[in-house]
Structure 1
C-alpha cells in the first residue's frame, strides 16, 4: 500500500477518535492576558504557541488536534515539537484508549513514511532528528522508533542515519538516548555495510564520513 495512503488512513483514524470534540469558532483567552481568538482568522502556528495554555482548554486541544496533525505532514508551517509537545501538558496518557491509540498510530505511520524516502517528504518533519525531538517532547521513550529504524534496512533509512551522525555534536556532554544509540558499534557497522552497498553512488561519501566520525 502506498505510504501516503497509509498516512491518510492514520489521519482518518485520528479524526474519528476526536470527532466527539467539535471545533469551536471562538476560543476563550486567559482573562488576565488574552482576548478571545477566532480560529479561522488566526495563524495556526501562533495558535499552537498558546493553545491549551493562554487560549482554549483541553477540549479545544482535542478538537484541533486532527487539523494540526494533518498540517504537520502536509506543510512546513508548524513546528512538530510545539504541536506534539502539547500532549504531555494535556496528560494525553490519561485520555481514552481510542484517542491514545490514534495518536500512537499516526506517529508510527509518519515515522515509517519519513524513513522510506530520502530526502523526506513529510511536511514539517524535515528529518529524522526533527521527528525524534518532537516525540521526546511528549515525554515518551524514543526507543520504539529507534527499533523501527533498526529494522528498516533500506538505502533511504541508511541515508537518514548518515545525516543524523554527521549532524551530531560530538563535543556535547549532554547526550540523549538518540545520541547514545547513534554512537554505538551497531550503527557504525551498518554505515560500513551501507557504504559497501552504495559505494558507486553520489551519496557514498556521506556514509564514509559518518563511519569515520564514529571511529574517532
Structure 2
C-alpha cells in the first residue's frame, strides 16, 4: 500500500504525463517585460519546459499577468514545473499567489486530462500534509492553495475532519492560532478571506466547521475563542 507522500509523487508524475502532449507541441515565442527578462531568459522560456531553470520557473510563478504577452499560455506550459516545486517545498512563494495566478490563467478551462491531473495533485498534497507534522508546508498554506484554486472549501475541510491522525490535529492547533491571532481584527476568523487578492471568503464556513468537529479536537481555550466569534 502506498503512503500519502508516495501518492503525491505519483500524482506529480501523472501531472507531467497529462501535460506531455502540450509540451510536445512546437514552443511558441515568449514575449515579456524586457526590463525584467533578458533575451536569453525569454528564449529559455520558449524552449522545452522541462529544462527551464528553477529561478525562471519561480519568476513566472510570481510575476503579474501584465509582464507577459500571453500570460495564460506561458503559465499553462509551466504549471507542472511550478506545481512540483510548490508541492515539494522548493517554491518559496506565497501560496495564495500561486492559486490566484492559476485562476488568472483560467486553469478550469484547460483540457480535462490537465484539470483532472492537477485536481489529483491537490487532493494528494492535502492528504499528505495532514499525515505529517511538521509537513513541508503549513496546513493553512496548502489549504489556501487548494481551496482558492478550486473555488470551494467544503471538500478540503471534510478531508481534514475525517483524518484522525495526530499530525492532522497538530496542524489544526497551529491553524487556529494562525486564524485567530495572526490577522488584523477585521480579517480574523469570521471575516477571513483566502487568496492573494482575497478571492475566497471562508470565515463563516470555517467557524461552522470548527464548531461541528468532534469533542476534544479543539483545545478549550481555542474553542472558547471560536464560540466567542460565532456568537458575538
- Please indicate, yes or no, whether the TM-score normalized by the shorter chain is above 0.5: yes
Structure 2 residue aligned with 1:193:
216
Partner of 1:28: 31
Is residue 2:96 matched to residue 1:93?
no
Whether 1:180 and 2:194 are equivalent positions in the alignment is no
Judging changes above 3 Å, is the alpha-carbon distance between structure 1 residues 63 and 175 closer, same or farther for their aligned structure 2 residues? closer
- Equivalence for 1:69: 83
- Residues 213 and 152 (structure 1 numbering): CA distance in 2 closer, same or farther, change over 3 Å? same
Q: Distance in 2 between matches of 1:7 and 1:56?
A: 33
- Aligned positions of 1:160-171 closer than 5 A: 160-169=171-180, 171=185
Q: TM-score, normalised by structure 2?
A: 0.72
Query: Offset of 1:135 from its aligned partner?
Result: 3.1
Distance 1:33 1:157, change over 3 A: closer
Which residue of the other structure, out of 26, 45, 55, is the alignment partner of 2:68? 55
Trace 1:7-26 onto structure 2 (pairs within 5 A): 7-22=8-23, 24=27
Cα gap change, 1:189 to 1:103, in 2 (>3 Å)? closer
Gaps of at least 5 residues in structure 1 are: 196-206
Deviations 1:152-186 (A, max 9, x none): 122211111111112224733633454334433x6
1:72-97: CA deviation from partner (whole Å, max 9, x where unpaired): 12234332323332222122222111
Whether the aligned pair in 2 keeps the contact of 1:21 and 1:59 (CA below 8 Å) is no
Counterpart pick for 2:225 among 198, 213, 216? 213
Classify 1:16/1:189 alpha carbon distance in 2 versus 1 (closer, same or farther; 3 Å): closer
Structure with the larger helix share: 2
Classify the secondary structure of the residue corresponding to 1:167. Answer: helix
Gaps of 5+ in 2: 46-51, 194-200
2:179 aligned counterpart, secondary structure: coil
Q: Does 1:158 align with 2:169?
A: yes
How many angstroms does 1:128 deviate by? Answer: 1.8
Structure 1, 32-41 or 172-181: larger mean CA deviation: 32-41
Equivalent pairs counted in the alignment come to 200
CA distance in 2, matches of 1:160, 1:137: 19
Q: Does 1:102 align with 2:117?
A: yes
